[in-house]
Amino acid sequence: MDRLNQPDTHILRSMKRLAGHLRPEDPVELGPDFSITMLELVTLFLTHVRQMILKHWNIPLKKKEAI
Model pTM score: 0.70
Higher pLDDT: 7 or 33? It is 33
Sequence-separated contacts (24+) of 31-38 with Cβ below 8 Å:
31/3, 31/6, 32/8, 34/3, 34/9, 36/1
Confidence band for 37, pLDDT divided at 50, 70 and 90: very high
Taking only the tens place, the pLDDT of each residue in 17-33 is 888 899 999 999 888 88
Which runs of consecutive H residues, i.e. helices, occur in the chain?
15-21, 38-56
Assess whether pLDDT exceeds 70 at residue 54.
yes
